Chains A and B, each alone.
Chain A
Amino acid sequence: MTMVTYQAKNLLAQVSAGLDLEVSFSQAMKGLGFSPQLAHILWLPLPMLLVLVAALIGVLVTVWLERKISAAAQQRIGPEYAGALGILQPMADGLKLLVKEDVIPAKADSLLFTLGPVLVLVPVILSWLIVPFGQNLLISNVGIGIFLWISLSSIQPIGLLMSGYASNNKYSLLGGLRAAAQSISYEIPLALAVLAVVMMSNSLSTVDIVDQQNNAGFLSWNIWRQPVGFLIFWICALAECERLPFDLPEAEEELVAGYQTEYAGMKFALFYLGSYINLILSALLVSVLYLGGWGFPIPVELLANWLNQSIDAPIIQIITGSLGIVMTVIKAYLLVFLAILLRWTTPRVRIDQLLDLGWKFLLPISLVNLLFTAALKLVFPTFFGG
């Protein structure tokens, strides 16, 4: 009898730590006679492939949304023949690009020309390693967490510069240089804005950052404690994604298509894919850093009490886990929607305005924001993460 209650308690403790699919998987594998190490190795690729598929579907949805919202902003209908409301249009575009002939200009450096788009895409996908969709619903909760994303995001401009240079085209070269300059100018304010959030959660791990925000529903989200940081992060994220008003590297009126000019077929599609995955990634990270990630606007404990349910009941765990994923995605897509609307409502800035905004405005402001956060943390430790 005591044995059974002990086991039940043990199980309850496991479940209340949040849904951990790896533990369940490993136990199921143990039942089949696999060792824990083997179960771990078998488990590893599953969340990765799942996240990769989710990211690719996210890109298809975002491309469709972008085309539909752009059309609505210009009083057009947009794609409508491929599938209901044109949902299949992005897939058709992708398939077309997949079977399109690949042209490498005779005067280009073919090795760098091929390597460029690959270097742009790989770090962007790799950054999804640290995006959490729930307490244990991420690929890996690595110790350096959000810092991994910051370091990976600085690899991307190398790829852009490489493809701009390898094209042997004056406009591509200018576009590549602009991309690199823009990226390095906005990286520092971005890193400093993240730093203020890291300071409040005392940890670089994205899971800890979200946990720290979910004590009192939407009132405890970081956006209220870091309003300036939120704005800096959002502006810099738009600049890093090369979205309007910061799309200078591919400004079509000035530079044809910037570093993409010479690209066709699949290599062009890789740039396209990279920029959309990056946009969704940035939106997800804004929701993780400032909008409480998978957290509900009203605390789960309150809802469970109201429904007379125990928060530790397995069924409630599963429901909150799945709703957490939905919550993260909704928050991210609201931001994607905002980014698409911004594209059609703001004019492009000039290059000197862009650099001035980064170096003379955002950098000093983000330094002040960081020191201000540190000072507030010293004075009101309970409100700023102890």
Chain B
Amino acid sequence: MFALSGYDAFLGFLLISAAVPILALVTNKLLAPQSSAGERELTYESGMEPIGGAWIQFNIRYYMFALVFVIFDVETVFLYPWAVAFHKLGLLAFIEALIFIAILVVALAYAWRKGALEWS
């Protein structure tokens, strides 16, 4: 069922869409003035002279969200073929998907109870 037709256009359009930013940046390089910098190359940050850099260790609070995301993203990928072929599969496939989603809902409820979905 998986047809590979039409992907030559994908490759072609990938090249064309990659050419847009490259052309823009090259044109900018050719047209724009260039001066040796000094103060200008300081990190702008908030307008003040920055205190310390940003490449430090700190607590990224979105870490747990990223983990939960991986679970549910894989789930949606599994559900895509089910949805496309659903009209041929009927009631049995519906019950199977119901069980599959129920297991994941339990996982979501567990993550929720454990506080993985709390930001603070």
Contact = CB atoms under 8 A, between A and B. Distances in A.
Contact of A117 (B8, B21, B119): B21
B90 to A, nearest CB: 7
21 contacts: A102-B28, A105-B42, A105-B44, A106-B43, A121-B20, A121-B21, A129-B13, A143-B6, A169-B43, A195-B83, A198-B83, A204-B84, A261-B45, A262-B43, A266-B27, A270-B21, A270-B24, A270-B25, A352-B119, A360-B117, A385-B87
Given A171-B45, A256-B44, A378-B91, 8 more contacts: A44-B12, A52-B20, A167-B54, A172-B54, A204-B80, A367-B105, A371-B97, A378-B90
A52 B24 contact: no
A103 B69 contact: no
Contacts of A173: 54
Contact of A181 (B9, B46, B65, B80): B65
B119 A351 contact: yes
Going nearest first, the 9 A-B pairs with the smallest beta carbon separation are A140-B9, A266-B28, A125-B17, A181-B62, A106-B41, A352-B119, A199-B83, A140-B6, A184-B69
B105 A102 contact: no
Contacts of A142: 5-7, 9-10
A363 B40 contact: no
Interface stretch (A66-74, A93-101, A313-321): A93-101
Contacts of A177: 60, 62
Contacts of A187: 69, 73
A98 B24 contact: yes
Interface of A: 44-45, 48-49, 52, 98-108, 114, 117-118, 121-122, 125-126, 128-129, 139-143, 147-148, 165, 167-173, 177, 180-181, 184-185, 187-188, 191-192, 195-196, 198-199, 202-204, 256, 261-262, 265-267, 269-270, 351-352, 355-356, 359-360, 363-364, 367, 370-371, 374-375, 377-378, 381, 385-386
Contacts of A167: 43, 54
Contact of B76 (A180, A191, A269): A191
A220 to B, nearest CB: 17
Given A108-B43, A121-B21, A142-B9, A377 B80 contact: no
B24 A269 contact: yes
Interface string B87-105: 1001100100110010001
Given A167-B43, A177-B60, A188-B72, A371 B101 contact: yes
Nearest to B86: A199
B28 to A, nearest CB: 4
A233 to B, nearest CB: 14
Given A107-B43, A168-B54, A169-B44, A195 B79 contact: yes
Nearest to B38: A106
Contacts of B84: 198-199, 202-204
B80 A195 contact: yes
B45 A256 contact: yes
A100 B79 contact: no
B14 A126 contact: yes
A113 B55 CA distance: 14
Contacts of A269: 24
